[in-house]
């Protein structure tokens, strides 16, 4: 593929939003990255162009059968006004794993990272500087063939759009209440749970709505067969601290492997803690709770980094953890990871990629 990225700058600039009141995913920057795929040309015409609507025939495959993949990562501004990306190579690697599952052609991971760096460099003034804020990066691929047949598309579009986002924790890191879902499931082994694809999110909405109606903020997903074993929490991976040791569900063919999950396991081991990746049932967690051994629970993902869990609702029982307060390990992990991401903590594992010098 011709590796030169064509750049067309916008003749106008949008007003930057107030970083104090930023929401998630509502405001987009002035430019986006786009490249197309056809069977004969492969990926071609990589370009950075003004952010604008796209025009597609109503018969375009993207509107019908959900053959899509996406990624999510963030760019951070440091105190020295440098722009950092956190382990972006892992996101493009995972995008290709998702592509495999969805019959979408691979992208060149190094080229995608180069394109992202160029785009973020152009948009660097959009990276907010308030503590906890960042520039959210959304790479995604859609099928663009005009065809109603059920088959892998012969044409695709890869895009990267950028959105300044506010702090997940406006009033400090705070535990959430979780509804253990025993009817709906997110994914099953053999399905698409390990791929970051829109369909998994569509499948999750009904249970999320039910949890919210009952006063809970997220769903704890159990396995799709026996509905006994813990999978994930909302769109985050989940960890427990039981009797001084850390436990997280092993990757089992239906769990999405988070970059945050992987980073946390490395950090915990570096601190000398024991981490078990194993099958864990809700019954195990309930028994640990009854015995006073369930010390902490938290979700992990790019959006919140760490989301401490203050309560589980399971089988008509309310299990309150740690008096509904943030646990020690949750707090330490949050401070360390966000410190690495924003340059105030030593980058122990070479995770950070600088966009600007």
Ligand X SMILES: *Cc1c(COP(=O)(O)O)cnc(C)c1O
Query: Applying CB under 6 A, which residues contact ligand X?
Result: 72, 196, 232, 235-237, 256, 258-261, 300-302
Nearer to ligand X, 236 or 280 (CB): 236
Residue (133 or 300) nearer to ligand X, CB: 300
Smaller CB separation from ligand X, 142 or 255: 255
Q: Nearest approach, Cβ of 217 to ligand X (angstroms)?
A: 16
Nearest residue (CB) to ligand X, 142 versus 236 = 236
Q: CB of residue 337 vs ligand X: minimum separation in angstroms?
A: 10
* Buried residues in 277-300 as b, exposed as e (16+ CB within 10 A): eeebebebbbebbeeeebbbbbbb
CA distance linking residue 340 with residue 151, whole number of Å:
43
State the residue number with the nearest CB to ligand X: 258
Shortest Cβ 132–ligand X spacing (Å): 16
Phi-psi region of 45 (alpha: psi -120 to 50; beta: other; left: phi over 0): left
Q: How far is the CB of 97 from ligand X (least distance, A)?
A: 12
Instruction: Kindly tell me which of 144 and 192 has the beta carbon lying closer to ligand X.
Output: 192
Helix (H, G, I), strand (E, B) or coil at 241: strand
Sign for the pseudo-dihedral over CA of 147, 153, 159, 163? positive
Report the residue number, 10 or 97, with the smaller CB distance to ligand X: 97
Contact assessment for residue 135 and residue 74, using Cβ atoms and an 8 Å cutoff: yes
The minimum distance between CB 40 and ligand X, in angstroms, equals 33
Closer residue to ligand X (CB): 153 or 218: 218
Q: Which helix (H) or strand (E) holds 201?
A: helix 198-213
Measure the CA angle with vertex 50, ends 48 and 55; round to 5°: 100
Q: How far is the CB of 270 from ligand X (least distance, A)?
A: 18
Contact by Cβ (8 Å): 164, 126: yes
Instruction: List CB contacts of 55: < 8 A, sequence separation 6 or more.
Output: none
Q: Which of 9, 24, 45 is nearest to 123 (CA)?
A: 9
Token reading at 285:
């967690």
CB of 64 to ligand X, least distance (A): 22
Closest CA to 309 of 246, 211, 217, 182: 217
Taking the least distance from each CB to ligand X, the nearer of 144 and 235 is 235
Measured from the CB of residue 106, what is the shortest distance to ligand X in angstroms? Answer: 19
Alpha-helical regions (H) of 40-137: 88-102, 109-122
Q: Distances in Å between the alpha carbon of 270 and those of 89, 263, 266, 349?
A: 22, 11, 6, 10
Closest distance between ligand X and the C-beta of residue 231, in Å? 9
In which residue are the tokens 């500087």 written? 129
Task: Kindly tell me which of 143 and 258 has the beta carbon lying closer to ligand X.
Answer: 258
CB 264 within 8 A of CB 239: yes
């Amino acid at each position: 593929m011709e590796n030169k990225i064509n750049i067309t700058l916008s003749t106008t600039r949008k007003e930057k939003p107030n970083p104090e009141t930023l929401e998630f995913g509502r405001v987009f920057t002035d430019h986006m990255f786009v490249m197309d795929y056809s069977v004969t040309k492969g990926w071609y015409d990589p370009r950075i162009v003004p952010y604008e609507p796209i025009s597609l025939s109503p018969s375009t495959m993207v509107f019908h059968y959900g053959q899509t993949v996406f990624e999510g990562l963030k760019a951070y501004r440091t105190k020295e006004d440098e722009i950092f990306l956190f382990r972006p190579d892992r996101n493009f690697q995972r995008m290709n794993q998702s592509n495999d599952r969805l019959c979408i052609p691979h992208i060149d991971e190094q080229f995608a990272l180069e394109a992202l760096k160029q785009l973020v460099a152009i948009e660097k003034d959009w990276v907010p500087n308030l503590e906890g804020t960042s520039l959210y990066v959304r790479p995604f691929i859609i099928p663009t063939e005009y065809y109603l047949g059920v088959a892998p598309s012969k044409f695709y579009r890869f895009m990267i759009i950028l959105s300044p986002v506010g702090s997940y924790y406006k009033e400090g890191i705070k535990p959430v209440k979780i509804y253990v879902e025993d009817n709906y499931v997110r994914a099953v082994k053999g399905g698409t749970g390990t791929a970051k694809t829109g369909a998994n999110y569509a499948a999750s909405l009904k249970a999320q709505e039910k949890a919210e109606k009952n006063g809970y903020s997220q769903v704890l997903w159990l396995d799709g067969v026996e509905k006994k074993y813990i999978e994930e929490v909302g769109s985050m991976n989940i960890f427990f601290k039981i009797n001084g040791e850390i436990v997280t569900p092993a990757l089992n063919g239906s769990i999405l492997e988070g970059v945050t999950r992987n980073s946390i396991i490395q950090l915990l081991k570096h601190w000398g803690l024991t981490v078990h990746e194993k099958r864990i049932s809700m019954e195990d967690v309930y028994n640990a709770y009854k015995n006073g051994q369930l010390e902490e629970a938290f979700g992990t993902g790019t959006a919140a980094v760490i989301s401490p869990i203050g309560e589980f609702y399971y089988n008509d029982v309310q299990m309150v953890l740690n008096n509904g307060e943030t646990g020690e390990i949750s707090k330490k992990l949050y401070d360390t990871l966000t410190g690495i991401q924003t340059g105030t903590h030593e980058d122990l594992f070479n995770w950070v990629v600088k966009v600007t010098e």
